[in-house]
A and B are shown apart, each in its own frame.
Chain A
């Protein structure tokens, strides 16, 4: 299954205009400065917001088509969405959260073992650390057998050490996933580490030069030649 999207939406400070495709098993990392419209793109893919114009096509299904007035609601898209924080249900323990929409509840135990939170099943979300909450959120998303996995800065509220650990785990997991994955971040290291493909988004538009400009000392045209020799990656931490 391949996701392909052409999106247009008028936002408060700029117009969002993007088009991209992402095939099964690939991870596309959307990167760019905060406030550039990345989360809006994810919310449109999820069906939580409607683009003003464009199409979203998943495999042979049309999820959104402005011309034909097609808008498949989020309930019917069967996707996994991991938010930055606060999206586990506070009234349920971790196990019930992960099993909330599970296709097969037996898989939840295996997922909990994989993400090393098996001992926390009975805890409520406020009783565990941020990293453990996000592990559970990933389990919740995967247990639904998503056709498309959306990760919106899932680790950005975590400390550096936890973030690195989870990043590794996600990379190991990537090969086993049978769906397109879209990952949003503003952390360049994370993007370079995880991505099969990078889509820099600045003010709602694709800006391939942004990455180069950001990680190299020289502005503009010289960046391309010098970027490879003098990366400032360490500054990102």
Chain B
């Protein structure tokens, strides 16, 4: 069995989840509490990766992250290396691919918090930032956990985006879903079968966790 590919998958999913939790929290806060012009356009843009075919996202990411692209050009002038076909490259791709699944559950958890709790926090002397850390975050733990699990699951299933941005370099960008595809192409059904089988308990356990978290938060 291709343990290396499985390792890259898990590593990518974990890094994506951690990065997205940090990025998504302030975005979800803005969407939940602030009113600004063009908010619905911004929100739709953030959810766009959910509605686009992965190859379309991958195509634009190649343009953006390639040596002539805006991001890739800056990266190359700074480090002298290409962003495509690296673990960092697929991490960026995976973060963008999964961002809707991080923001959406977090936002709905924030929206559910009673506004009077925030009023009470301000009156008790908390700044907006302190109220976010001491009131909003602790009272939306199950929503945040649900978003983390969803992002993790969505990342281990990524295929098209990663193949386009990262190719299939063992130990770097060859994730388990790509390894399965390649094994099947080479008619190696037993290798593909073992890898495929290893996904089922992981995904099933995490889904049970999501359900449990949703039940907790509805109390």
Interface residues of A (CB under 8 A from B): 43, 46-48, 73-75, 77-81, 83, 86-87, 89-91, 100-101, 140, 144
Across the interface, do A86 and B124 meet the contact criterion of CB distance under 8 Å? no
14 inter-chain pairs at a CB distance below 8 angstroms, sorted by A residue, are A48-B119, A48-B122, A48-B123, A74-B119, A74-B122, A75-B122, A75-B127, A81-B120, A81-B123, A83-B119, A83-B120, A89-B121, A91-B141, A144-B125
Residues from chain A with Cβ under 8 Å of B126 in the complex: 75, 101
* Cα-based distance from A48 to B127 in the complex (angstroms): 13
The interface bits of chain B over 115-139 (1 if a CB of A lies within 8 angstroms of the residue's CB, else 0) are: 0110111111111000000010011
Across the interface, do B117 and A74 meet the contact criterion of CB distance under 8 Å? no
Q: Is B114 an interface residue (CB 8 A)?
A: yes
The interface bits of chain B over 78-118 (1 if a CB of A lies within 8 angstroms of the residue's CB, else 0) are: 00000000000000000000000000000000000010110
Across the interface, do B117 and A78 meet the contact criterion of CB distance under 8 Å? no
Across the interface, do B116 and A87 meet the contact criterion of CB distance under 8 Å? yes
Residues from chain A with Cβ under 8 Å of B138 in the complex: 89, 91
> Chain A interface mostly helix, strand, loop or mixed?
loop
14 A-B pairs besides A74-B122, A87-B114 with CB distance below 8 A are: A43-B119, A46-B119, A75-B126, A81-B120, A83-B116, A83-B119, A89-B117, A89-B138, A89-B139, A90-B139, A91-B139, A91-B141, A100-B124, A144-B124
Across the interface, do A86 and B116 meet the contact criterion of CB distance under 8 Å? yes
* Cα-based distance from A87 to B122 in the complex (angstroms): 12
A182 to chain B, nearest CB (A): 14
Residues from chain B with Cβ under 8 Å of A43 in the complex: 119
Given known A-B contacts A91-B138, A91-B139, A140 and B116 have beta carbons under 8 A apart: no
* Cα-based distance from A2 to B4 in the complex (angstroms): 73
B35 to chain A, nearest CB (A): 16
Across the interface, do A79 and B123 meet the contact criterion of CB distance under 8 Å? yes
B34 to chain A, nearest CB (A): 17
* Cα-based distance from A80 to B120 in the complex (angstroms): 9
* Cα-based distance from A48 to B114 in the complex (angstroms): 15
Q: Among B122, B124, B125, B127, which residue has the most Cβ atoms of chain A within 10 A?
A: B124
Name B135's contact: one of A75, A80, A89, A140 (CB within 8 Å).
A89
Across the interface, do B123 and A74 meet the contact criterion of CB distance under 8 Å? yes
Residues from chain B with Cβ under 8 Å of A78 in the complex: 125
A142 to chain B, nearest CB (A): 12
* Cα-based distance from A101 to B121 in the complex (angstroms): 9
B168 to chain A, nearest CB (A): 45
Residues from chain B with Cβ under 8 Å of A79 in the complex: 123
Across the interface, do B117 and A101 meet the contact criterion of CB distance under 8 Å? no
* Cα-based distance from A43 to B139 in the complex (angstroms): 24
Across the interface, do A87 and B120 meet the contact criterion of CB distance under 8 Å? yes
B194 to chain A, nearest CB (A): 43
The chain B residue with its CB closest to the CB of A85 is B116
* Cα-based distance from A48 to B121 in the complex (angstroms): 11
B215 to chain A, nearest CB (A): 16
A99 to chain B, nearest CB (A): 11
* Cα-based distance from A162 to B116 in the complex (angstroms): 24
Residues from chain B with Cβ under 8 Å of A75 in the complex: 122-123, 125-127
